[in-house]
Amino acid sequence: MKVCIVGASGKLGQYMLQHCLDHNYEVVGVCREQSIAKLDRFKDRVTIIPGKTNDREVIRRAVEGCDGVLAVLVPWGVQKYSSGTAQAVLDYAPPGARLIFSCGWHITRDGRDVYSRLFKTLVATVGWLARLLRFVELDDQVEACRRIFSSDTRWTVVRGSDLEEGESQGLPVWSHHVGDPILKSNLTRRIDFALFMVEALTNEGLIHEAPAIVGRQTPSALEHASQPL
């Protein structure tokens, strides 16, 4: 399988890269010019295409011939970074390719997610501060996902909980809606978020789903482990 990782030099991207190599996938990585050195340890095993991930020409070249695309959606700057990245992937990935996008729990597909008061306050505060300082554009990640949800490509949007570093605990568990009891612990190891993204490439059951994930060893996951999802 040939896989393109859009945003390969970030923390999530590097974990995805390692998981893909562990699967013996052929990998093309897109990352900003100034971040190429972060991928030094992979350089003999990966084709790197330097550039911003919302540069349509960069994405067009990178996804050519790929069976799957793993795209990290990030809302940096006031430059439509997330929606530009998502749109380019949707437009240029080969027909039939599996497209897996990352985002956070604040994205809702059908409005049926139930958020705690703390979570809503946090998102509102971060969004307000970010708009004020013009360094993050949370609304653009929402717009990116709106476009993905209305696309007829073979997409999956993986919604990550709060993240932590650490050894893998295995494939996270997931549920359709934030607020479902199994997700209550709201914590996933970043390495396992990446694992879920990579496993989604070959899981047809996740096509047109927006799974909200949580670490499989967290208390809420263990408590609800026997219940089928």
Ligand X SMILES: NC(=O)c1ccc[n+]([C@@H]2O[C@H](COP(=O)([O-])OP(=O)(O)OC[C@H]3O[C@@H](n4cnc5c(N)ncnc54)[C@H](OP(=O)(O)O)[C@@H]3O)[C@@H](O)[C@H]2O)c1
Our measurement of the distance from residue 88's CA atom to the centroid of its chain's CA atoms, rounded to an integer in Å, reads 15
Interaction of residue 191 with ligand X, rule CB under 6 A = no
Interaction of residue 12 with ligand X, rule CB under 6 A = yes
Interaction of residue 160 with ligand X, rule CB under 6 A = yes
Interaction of residue 94 with ligand X, rule CB under 6 A = no
Interaction of residue 162 with ligand X, rule CB under 6 A = yes
Interaction of residue 104 with ligand X, rule CB under 6 A = yes
Bridge partner residues of 209 (DSSP) = 156
Nearest to 46 by CA among 2, 90, 86: 2
DSSP track, 8-75: TTSHHHHHHHHHHHHTT-EEEEEE-GGGGGGGGGGTTTEEEEES-TT-HHHHHHHHTT-SEEEEE---
* Stretch binding ligand X (CB under 6 A), from 6-14, 87-95, 108-116, 178-186: 6-14
Which CB, 92 or 101, lies closer to ligand X?
Answer: 101
Which CB, 163 or 222, lies closer to ligand X?
Answer: 163
Nearest to 209 by CA among 221, 217, 199: 199
Residue of the chain from 18, 21, 35, 147 that contacts ligand X (CB under 6 A): 35
Site size toward ligand X, by CB under 6 A: 23
Interaction of residue 176 with ligand X, rule CB under 6 A = no
Interaction of residue 29 with ligand X, rule CB under 6 A = no
> Pairing relation of β-strands 212-214 and 173-175?
antiparallel
Q: Residue 17 CB, nearest distance to ligand X (Å)?
A: 11
Nearest residue relative to ligand X (C-beta): 10
